[in-house]
Structure 1
Amino acid sequence: MRNRITRWQESERMAIARWSSLRIWLLAATFGGVTIVLAKSVLYPAGDKQVTPFEFPTAIPLAKWQQLENAPLEKTEEKDVAAEMGYRFIQKNIVLDIKMRYINSEQVDVKQLMKKYGGDRSYRNNFPLREQEGVGFYSVWTTPERTYLSACINPQGGSTVTAEQFRKNRNIYDMRPIRIWYWLLGRGELRDWRCLWAVLSIPIEPTSSQEEAQTILLDAWLSWHEWWQPRFPKE
């Protein structure tokens, strides 16, 4: 009986020793991986990563709307804009303008983008955030002449408006083991800072109220987002 206990105790000690060795190995591997990541970040900073060239399509289907034309937006020298295009649609007597910019920046904040490229400044006083289930966040506001809706379509996850929302999306979808592994192997970027920034607007006059104008814009936005989400530009 004593021999059995001794053998059992010896087996238990061996199992504990093996687990301790495995735990030390795992800790060493984790520490080594973290060290490599930090070293690569210091020695090879991301800098201004150039995205893969992309051209906006000339024609895009939009439910309930007929496309009238498309035209490139006024070119900018800003490095964070990789491509841009303007579209115009009509529904009965309502004309819808959509401005699209392909952005590559760590600071993707719609209010700041409007300040930089939007022209109109009325959004500063009234920039409400709204959320649509299954789509994400957007902002809608009205001026005396037009009603606007704006958001950033993300490569993964819902649409965003604020820099905080954008970074939260990136933390969720970028910091995954497989992506980190590919980055360590030099086969991809660790973070994906791209977005498709959309600004939709219609004039106030043809609609009967501000609420109706916002409803029309939201309906158009949902169709627009649905078309673009699976067609987001490749890295």
Structure 2
Amino acid sequence: MIKITQSKKEMRFWVHIRISLLAVTCVGVFLTLVKLIFDADAASHKVSDFVFPTNFLLTDGKILESQLLIDKVVQESTKYDVVIAGRRYRYRYNSIPVDIEMRYVVGTLGDVEGLIKNNTTINLPPGKVFQTVHQQLGIGYYGLFTYENKAYLSSCMNPQGDGTVTTEQFLHNRQIYNIRLNRFLPWLLGEQSFLDKRCLWAHLSIPVNNADYQSAYQLLEKAWLSCYRWWSPRFPKH
């Protein structure tokens, strides 16, 4: 009889535990819904300001000059692809000038073609910008193309995970790295967005001589590898 009584007590204990956990879960869901309904900015945490350095280490490259990019620098939670900081760097890389434009973009879905269209003078038909998209282990995706005697390399450096070029690639990264339980409480408290929709957009270009595009692409890829390795661990903090 004593064993049966103890068994019943243990069962009641675990029932109480389950009910308590269920109650906590229900309260959490309720608070989340309330926050989403009454707080329009619950999912759009205002990111911290960021200032690009005047130069950075580019292997085999010598800095020639750098200047601020004159893009629209405002934070509007209802807007997409907002550039809040940017800087253009010019390096001499193997005796060839390499221009590197770095922009800190928030509220983005990672569509690099759209970023090029809205922030540069490059005028190519939609879906016809990149002549090729490559993927490199540890670096991710980057797009290559030529326009008016210049070769270009462009990629979106993600807060976590490798670089991306398309919205599909960017959202795939977000699903892997952002949809985790440890992000739920900071999001609920308004400390950060549940999906980290930020991007360090890198846009590299060099002049092309004698239509030698392949050599130009190889040089851009070499510069991009060095650029990525320097910037990746220095991605802006929330």
Report the TM-score when normalising by structure 1.
0.86
More helix by share: 1
Among candidates 125, 133, 136, match of residue 132 of structure 1: 136
For residues 15-66 of structure 1, the C-alpha deviation after alignment (integer angstroms, 9 at most, x for no partner) is: 3333333222222212221221121112112276542221111111100111
Q: CA RMSD in A?
A: 2.4
SS where residue 192 of structure 1 aligns? coil
> What is the match of residue 74 of structure 1?
70
- Correspondence 1:218 to 2:221: yes
Counting only pairs closer than 5 Å after superposition, residues 40-189 of structure 1 correspond to structure 2 as 40-46=35-41, 49-76=45-72, 79=75, 80-122=82-124, 124-127=127-130, 128-189=132-193
How far, CA to CA, are the matches of 1:43 and 1:69 in structure 2? 48
Answer yes or no: is the 8 Å Cα contact 1:144–1:204 preserved in 2: no
Answer yes or no: is the 8 Å Cα contact 2:45–2:192 preserved in 1: no
| Aligned AA (1:164) | E
SS where residue 202 of structure 1 aligns? strand
Structure 1 stretches of 4+ with a deviation exceeding 3 A read: 6-17, 47-50, 185-191
How far, CA to CA, are the matches of 2:165 and 2:187 in structure 1? 27
Structure 1 portions without partners, runs of 5+: 1-5
In our comparison, the structure showing a higher alpha carbon Rg is 1
Percent of counterpart pairs with the same letter? 38
How far, CA to CA, are the matches of 1:174 and 1:45 in structure 2? 20
How far, CA to CA, are the matches of 2:197 and 2:129 in structure 1? 27
How far, CA to CA, are the matches of 2:229 and 2:201 in structure 1? 14
How far, CA to CA, are the matches of 1:201 and 1:187 in structure 2? 37
Q: Which moved more, 1:156-165 or 1:216-225?
A: 156-165
Answer yes or no: is the 8 Å Cα contact 1:68–1:89 preserved in 2: yes
* 1:230 Cα offset (Å): 1.2
| Aligned AA (1:216) | L
Structure 2 portions without partners, runs of 5+: 76-81
> What is the match of residue 28 of structure 2?
33
Using a 3 Å threshold, how does the CA distance of structure 1 residues 53 and 24 change in structure 2: closer, same or farther? same
| Aligned AA (2:49) | P
